[in-house]
Each structure stands twice: as structure tokens, then as C-alpha cells.
Amino acid sequence: MEALNQLKSRHSKERKDLQSRITAKKKNANKKTRKGVNNECAQLEIQLKEHQDQELAFLIGEPSEATLDDVSESDPEAVQPPTEDNTNGLGQKLDATPISQTEPENQESGGPKKKRNRHKERLARRAAEQETAAIAAEEEAANMVDHKKIEKAYMLKEFKANSLVEQDIRPDGHCLFSAVADQLQQRGIPLNSDATATRQGVLPYKAVRHVAASYMEKHSDDFAPFLEEPLDQYIKKIRDTAEWGGQLELQALARAYKVEISVVQESHTHLIEPGTGGDTASKPDRIWLAYYLHGYGLGEHYNSLRKQP
């Protein structure tokens, strides 16, 4: 009875030891070798069970017919009682089996290898890259300063403080001149104060363009140093094309029409004065423009700001 208990205790230890080796072996297997490792481990578990069954049968004196007869025919020595050394050999065999040599059954039998779907792999990589880029763009957008929102908030505050109503101007290269024309007309100031713009039927923005170009041409020393091209070429573009206007043109128009120009823009309101020349006995009229740097898709834009009725 004591021998039987010892045998069962040893069998339990052998199963645990073999299971530990199998677990370690499976952890080290990769996708390519996993199937072969699993088959190898299953075979060793079967062999251990057979050995332990034989030991138990020999101990109690009832060897099974399937175990002893078949084995004795092929190997008479196999009928000898299995020993602990025999079962330990199973674990040693498992440890000695290199995973790199364990191949899937279809490769051992010379079966066809599964072809890689390179097109599918490329699509998967591309989808992963696009997802990564989208996530990065979302994170960047979340961390960006919303200049458009800041710009609009300041402008609305200034509009309310100065009783102004925004008059939309078509967003094109003429917007500055169209906005100035709208402001001048609101105050009854003639647009064609220059002889070059006195033709009948001329569009308001064109009349203002002519005034700006004429003033800059007559006062070339005040503007030429700030240009990156010859003054005559620049004046021609301002007068005859849809060239965008900016600070120089606003300065010329303030002086030519003798008005103050307040430009409401992001974070501050910029005042352009007409200068010291001309009649200074009375305070000049003030016209109002809204300048957007972020609010329009085409870029910089000017709107007219009319006084509330």
C-alpha cells in the first residue's frame, strides 16, 4: 500500500513537471511553429500517461493486454517495469526539442506554403497609417488656438461698443476699396474727388482705386521705400487690376479723402489718420472697416461697418 501511494505521488509530480515544461515550450513558440509544438506536447502527454499506466499495472500485478502483448511482440525489453528514469526522459526529450525545428505539418509533408497577400498587407498598412494621421490631426486641432473664435469675439465686442452694424462685402481682391466706397457713400463724401475717376458709370470700388493710385503717384516719396517693385508698376496694378489693397492703400485713401479710418481687427482697433496737411479746422469724418485675417477661407478680407440707425 505504501509503494502504491509513493507511485501515485511520483506520477503526480511527473505530470506537473511535464506540464511546466510544456507551458514554457508553448510560450516560446511563434505563429509559424505553434502547431508543431502543440502536436509534440500532446504526444509527450500521451506517452507519459502510457508509462504511468504501465507502472501502475505492474505494481498491482494487472498489466493490461493491450499494453503488454503489443509491446512485447515488438520489443521484449519493453515489458520490464517502467522506472522514474524512463518518465524523466520524456521531459528531457521535450527540453531538447528546438522550437525553430518544429514546423507545421503541412511543411513537414511537403505541402504547399500559404502565399502572402501583399496587396492586402499594403491596404492594412495604409489604413493603419491613415488612422494614425487622423488621430494626430485631431490631437493637434484640439491643442490649437482658435484664432477665428478669438477674432470674432473681439469684433463683436467692438461693434457693440461703437454702435456698428457689419455690412458684408464680396470677398475678392476689391474688398478693401468696396468697403471704403460704402463708408464714404454712407457719409455723403464724393468718391471721385480725383480727376482720373470722374467718368460716368464707373463702379464705386474702381473710383476708390483710382483715387488711391493717383495719390500714391503724386506722393511717391511716401510710398516707394515700402515697395518691393518699381512704383509705376505697383500703381498700375492698384488702379487697373484686382490687386489686394493693404496698409499703404488705406494710408493713401485717408489722406486723399481727409478721413480717419478705424480698422477693427483681431485683438485691437487700428486708427489711420489723414495727416497734418489740408484743412484741420474741423475734426475729420471717421469711417469704420472690419479686417478679418482668420474669418474667411480666401484669407484677408475687409467689410464695411455702418453706424446703427
On whether both 161 and 286 belong to a single domain, the answer is: yes
Same-domain status, 162 and 255: yes
Task: Report how many domains make up the chain.
Answer: 2
pTM of model > 0.95: no
Mean local confidence (pLDDT), 130-149: 84
Please choose, from the candidates 114, 105, 108, 97, the residue with its C-alpha nearest in 3D space to the C-alpha of residue 26.
97
Of 56, 83, 109, the last residue of a domain is: 109
| Domain C-terminal end among 60, 86, 109 | 109
pLDDT at residue 181 is higher than 50 = yes
- The answer to whether residue 120 is domain-embedded is no
Q: Residue 195 pLDDT > 50, yes or no? A: no
Q: Are 178 and 204 in contact (CB under 8 A)?
A: yes
In a domain, 153, yes or no: yes
Q: Specify the higher pLDDT residue, 31 or 167.
A: 167
Other CB atoms within 10 A of residue 88 CB: 13
pLDDT for the residue numbered 232: 95
Structural domain contains residue 72: yes
156 & 228 share domain? yes
Residue 204, domain extent = 147-307
Tell me what the mean pLDDT of segment 43-48 comes to. 86
Of 259, 263, 250, which Cα lies nearest the Cα of 290? 263
Q: How far apart are CA 52 and CA 292, in angstroms?
A: 89
Report the alpha-carbon distance of residue 145 to residue 244 in Å, rounded: 27
pLDDT at 142: 75
pLDDT digits (tens, 9 = 90+) for 77-130: 444 455 555 555 665 665 565 544 444 444 445 556 677 888 888 888 888 888
Residues 151 and 282 grouped into a single domain: yes
245 within domain boundaries: yes
Same domain, yes or no: 74 and 180: no
Tell me if 294 is assigned to some domain. Answer: yes
pLDDT band at 211 (very low <50, low <70, confident <90, very high): very high
| Together in a domain, 161 and 256 | yes
Tell whether the model's pLDDT for residue 74 goes beyond 50. no
Picking from 109, 135, 159, the residue at the C-terminal end of a domain is 109
CATH code at position 160: 3.90.70.80
Query: Does any domain span residue 154?
Result: yes
Q: Is residue 124 one of the residues assigned to a domain?
A: no
- One-letter identity of residue 218: K
Question: 241 and 191, same structural domain?
Answer: yes
Is 95 part of a structural domain of the chain? Answer: yes
